Chains A and B, each alone.
Chain A
Amino acid sequence: MGSTTEAEYAAFLEKVKRTVYLDNLSPQVTEPVIRTALDQFGNVKNVQFIPNYTEFRNIPHCALVEMENLKQAKDVVTSLHEFPFMMSGMPRPVRARAAEVEMFDDHPAKPGQRIQFQWLDPNDPDFEVAQRLKRLARKHAAEASFVLKEQLEQEEQLANQQEETLKQNYKKYETLEGIMSDGTAHRLGRRYDVRIHDD
């Protein structure tokens, strides 16, 4: 009994090792998209999206991608770290990192893990401390939530800024196109003695 659960857990740890955690995924990314995208690094064995029930609506998706072996998983992580990797849109790149045990919602219990709890007596001097800890935990949760909110804001800000840049670029390209059509390019060509032909 014990040995089988341990073996199971060991197998699971192996699985964790060859799994890559992807985030910053667009909602349009589906399993086939991930499969085709990561095919170049190795065989994708399994793709599992991590559902998000708790946080804000517009949080990027994340997924666990199980590769065939550890090496492939490492390849994915390094490659995606080195080169910005676009999936179903740009320019926000997808990020990859090694998966962790707690990211699996069906992870098996650690063998030999003993779970204990106790109800504290309200008269116990520790009770007050524990209550304070509760508040502290809530505070930390609030902080995390705040940082997350801030992160989303920053991301949005960057996205807006980039959109602006893109628009400007686009405008410039239009201008370039314009100098071709309105003869500016030809005039310049005459000046530099260059034959301009429409391409």
Chain B
Amino acid sequence: MVEVAEVENLDFKWGKKRGIGGKKKDVQFYQSFTYDGVEYTLYDCVYLYKEGDAEPHVGKLIKIWENADKAKKVKLLWFFRPSDISNFLGNVQTLENELILACGEGVGLTNINPLEAIAGKCNVVCTSKDARNPQPSDEELQISDFIFCRTFDVGLRKVLDKIDEKIAGIEVKFIFNRQGYQNSSVALKLDSNKKEVSKNATISDETVISAQQNIPESVSTKQEGGFIDTSVKQGVEASLIRQNSSLLDNVDLESGGKAKSGEGLEDISINSSNLRSKVKENEHTKVLTTKQKSSFAERPVSSVDSKAWLVGMKSSLGEKVSSIGGAQQGEIVRTIKPGITFGDKIASSSKVGFEKSKAKSSKALETKEEVKSFKDPNELYNGPSNKAKFDSSRKVFDDKIKNRVQKLGLDSNVHGPKPTLATIADEDKSKTKRAVAKDPHGIDKGPCKKPKLDEELLKPTSGKLVEASSLQPSIVENKSNKQIVEVTRRPSLDRSKWFKELPWEERIRVAHEHGTLVVLENLDPSYTSTVVEDLVWHAFKENCSAKMIPRVAFASPYFGQSFVIFKTREVAELVVTKLEEGCLLLSNGRPLLGSIGTPCFTGKQSKFVGHLALDKLKFQMQREMREAVSTSHCSQPNSLEYDMAIEWSLLQERLDCAWKKLYEDSCPINFFTTRRSSREASSPEVPEHTDKSEYAGCFPGANPPTLKSDMKDLACYATVLGKAWLSWFCEILRVTPRFWGKRGCRGSVRSCVLRHGSGESVAVVPRFSGWGACLANCRRPGLLASRPLAGMALCLLQEIGLADDVLVDEHDISAPVPPRTRLLRDIPVRKTLPSDICSPCLVSSTYFS
């Protein structure tokens, strides 16, 4: 909430009024307003930060008003980043700094936000080739933060290339570049400079505020003791230095830009970079001294640097800075700045440079500035803002700086109406503040070639984006340092929640088409998709969306796979190469594998292996089958289906064993377990590819797992019976240990049931077991009587000598029974049938009950 309070403090002014609206005429619309020192007008593009989002949203102001309750509101027409709508982009290739304007009707077109949510201006240029659009010049394109030429219809969820007449009730001329944009490129430059100024002003303003807050602190603590006093001042100083160094970056780049444009300023840029590296060094030493001084610094740090934007820098900047470091920084800023502004003059003698620059700067900025040659680092170029720095630093290190001041004094004397440094020492803090406030004016003299950079500066200023930037470098280091990185949650993204994500199948398909799909393998299968996303973020610093592939029964329990979709093909390829060349070791000791994904999509399968159906549906048998197809059921043991199902079960069982064996073998792929052994004894090289012959040994077919022995026997019976017996009109129906189905009778009878005709069943005890007997109609007493064909089959069996005995139930006497038929009832069980064939249980319950 610190930021909100801060926001309140920032100056705000309404601009031109527009009209009154609302139900009670209590809403005042405005054309423009000034906020935070920046003037915003209608149809400007602005950044909006949302808590927790990594990147600011960009929107166009389309309405500005104040409610009766003084709440300031703005209505924004959104721009999308391509990443927001990546699911809907299809094969549209977007540029890096491209935005896509919302259009159509629906969620995501516009929003009403509190005015305070605006974080800054944003320069968006329309590159649409539309005739209505004033074409931007190259320069404009260069300085633009973003471009756009496409629209995204939030209703249809389609990316369109043309821009409609009206979007969200706004005429298209306000959406295109503004009229006159083209002609007045100079004016625009100034304008953009202004923008930059205002951005810089934002920075400095906040600095001022922080400085302001610091001041009372320091004043109040002054009495208390020297140490604290100085420390507080250091805090102030540190914040100023921070500002300078950030500005320095800017300046540095400016000079780079200039040099590129061929104005012969190479030496300046070199110089500046040299100086910059010096600054870096200084900062480095600062950090090094940190630890020693921390006891003094801590307290003021916590009290002074409560500003959010300093949070990231707190530790390094709140510390004691050596006077030389501080001085040098100021010096560098100063020296570079004039160097750029009056670059050509600096190339000539410094004296001339002094004169001219003085004249110019006094005209333009009404601040006193001196130009100093690079060659003389001891002579400081001195301006009001420098004063501030020296002021604070001198207070701390008075003695050290005295010499310097004297030297400076020489310079200042030359350039008249500037407050002398002698007075600086006694100046109060308000001057410091003023000086800081003026500071950015120095910098705005050079046209800013890199608005992007300013944006970067802005981000930390608003204090919401520290984490991503600070995180990345540390990871880069880790890569080379071979440290174990702990994967934590990655910073949340600005992935828009406005649109529902497409189903994964669709996303994978699209990603595959665009080559952005990568399959990561050898993951721990217990990882979740989010974990994989985090992992990728930490390992490659790339955002992605991941989807763990759920493990199926036959998949390895050690070999997790995941689909990962990256934003571009380049990133995907980069990740794959990195994984190929480098080696990412996971915590379970397995190296991560990556490859460009080639998913296969399950189309409509019409046929399923193992499901049979007859072509003609003439018989009852087939009718039953057809009915069975439409339902689910447990297979009954008296059917052909059951027999086949048992075959399938056997196969499945065997294959399961195979898988198990395979994964037992592949289990010890683990870095930690294999490391020692493979080092000591160099194991034979693993073949890179595979073919059938090579793995024949590992496949179960070569060595099938054994079945339960009795099942094996039965299968054997079935085969023999099937081949030798009755094949011309009876079919072996099943061989089963559980003869009579579900209830009771689980005795192990080795027998075959023959199916004959439609529905009858005959049990046959294999003759070569010594007991050739037919147990007629064993399933349903009385059934045989109604099935003459079955009876005739029995007769045949006996006649051709395949059955010694035909036993029928008494209910089936009326059936065609072979001449020497005996009733089951009459047969003394123990004598006639071997006990292992016909267990007492079976016999009693089925035949003789």
Contact = CB atoms under 8 A, between A and B. Distances in A.
Interface of A: 21, 23-24, 26-28, 33, 36-37, 50-58, 60, 62, 79, 83-93, 95, 97, 100-110, 113-122, 124-127, 129-144, 146-148, 150-152, 154-156, 158-159, 162-163, 165-167, 169-170, 172-173, 175-177, 179-180, 185, 188-189, 192, 194-197, 199
Given A83-B635, A126-B675, A134-B522, 17 more contacts: A36-B632, A51-B505, A54-B599, A91-B611, A91-B648, A93-B645, A102-B550, A102-B560, A115-B586, A119-B539, A126-B671, A138-B688, A144-B555, A170-B621, A173-B621, A185-B792, A192-B795
Contacts of B729: 172, 175-176, 179
A125 B525 CA distance: 28
B788 A108 contact: no
A57 B610 contact: no
A113 B526 contact: yes
B608 A139 contact: no
Interface string B531-561: 1001100110000000111111111110111
Contact of A163 (B526, B586, B612): B612
A139 B686 contact: yes
B695 A91 contact: no
Interface string B724-736: 0000110100000
Interface in B623-676: 625, 628-630, 632-635, 640-649, 651-652, 655, 658-659, 662, 666, 669-671, 674-675
Contacts of A54: 519, 549, 561, 599-600
A128 to B, nearest CB: 9
Nearest to B634: A83
Interface stretch (B34-42, B78-86, B481-489, B565-573): B481-489
B692 interface: yes
B591 A137 contact: yes
B675 A132 contact: no
Nearest to A107: B528
B674 A133 contact: yes
Nearest to B512: A53
Interface stretch (B118-126, B238-246, B577-585): B577-585
B585 A92 contact: no
B531 A116 contact: no
A57 B603 contact: yes
Contacts of A146: 690, 692, 695, 699
B182 interface: no
Contacts of A121: 480, 482
B788 A197 contact: yes
Interface in B679-706: 679, 683, 685-690, 692, 695, 698-699, 701
B602 interface: yes
Given A120-B482, A135-B688, A90 B792 contact: no
B2 interface: no
A93 B635 contact: yes
B589 to A, nearest CB: 8
A57 B605 contact: yes
A122 to B, nearest CB: 7
Contact of A60 (B519, B600, B608, B649): B608
B619 A185 contact: no
23 contacts: A27-B608, A57-B602, A84-B635, A88-B630, A88-B632, A90-B628, A91-B644, A91-B645, A100-B551, A103-B551, A105-B529, A109-B531, A110-B526, A115-B587, A118-B483, A120-B482, A124-B482, A134-B583, A144-B662, A158-B610, A162-B644, A176-B789, A194-B791
Contacts of A150: 699, 701
Contacts of A139: 686-688, 690
B678 A132 contact: yes
Contacts of A165: 644
B496 interface: no
Interface in B469-487: 478-480, 482-487
Contacts of A57: 600, 602-603, 605
A84 B634 contact: yes
A102 B526 contact: yes
Contacts of A101: 526
A136 B559 contact: no
Contacts, number: 346
A87 B632 contact: yes
B563 A53 contact: yes
Contacts of B499: none
A128 B425 CA distance: 64
Contact of B591 (A52, A89, A130, A144): A130
Interface centre among A113, A138, A192 (most CB of B within 10 A): A192
Contacts of B590: 133, 137
Given A129-B678, A134-B583, A173 B619 contact: yes
Nearest to A169: B731
B601 interface: yes
A179 B728 CA distance: 12
A98 to B, nearest CB: 10
Rank and list the top 4 A-B pairs by shortest CB-CB distance, nearest first. A92-B610, A84-B645, A89-B611, A37-B632
B521 interface: yes
A130 B44 CA distance: 55
B487 A115 contact: yes
A127 B583 CA distance: 7
B599 A176 contact: no
A192 B816 contact: yes
A88 to B, nearest CB: 7
A154 B701 contact: yes
A130 B583 contact: yes
Nearest to A84: B645
A190 B480 CA distance: 97
Contact of B651 (A83, A88, A155): A155
Given A51-B602, A91-B645, A126-B675, A137 B593 contact: yes
Nearest to A54: B549
Nearest to A83: B634
B582 A119 contact: yes
A196 B629 CA distance: 34
Nearest to B640: A169
A155 B658 CA distance: 14
B431 to A, nearest CB: 50
B609 interface: yes
Given A83-B635, A134-B593, A90 B816 contact: no
A90 B611 contact: yes
A23 B655 CA distance: 13
A199 B602 CA distance: 48
A52 B549 CA distance: 8
A150 B587 CA distance: 33
B648 A93 contact: yes
A139 B816 CA distance: 65
A92 B583 contact: no
Contacts of B561: 54
B508 interface: yes
B592 interface: yes
Nearest to B557: A102
Interface centre among A56, A162, A165 (most CB of B within 10 A): A162
Contacts of A110: 526
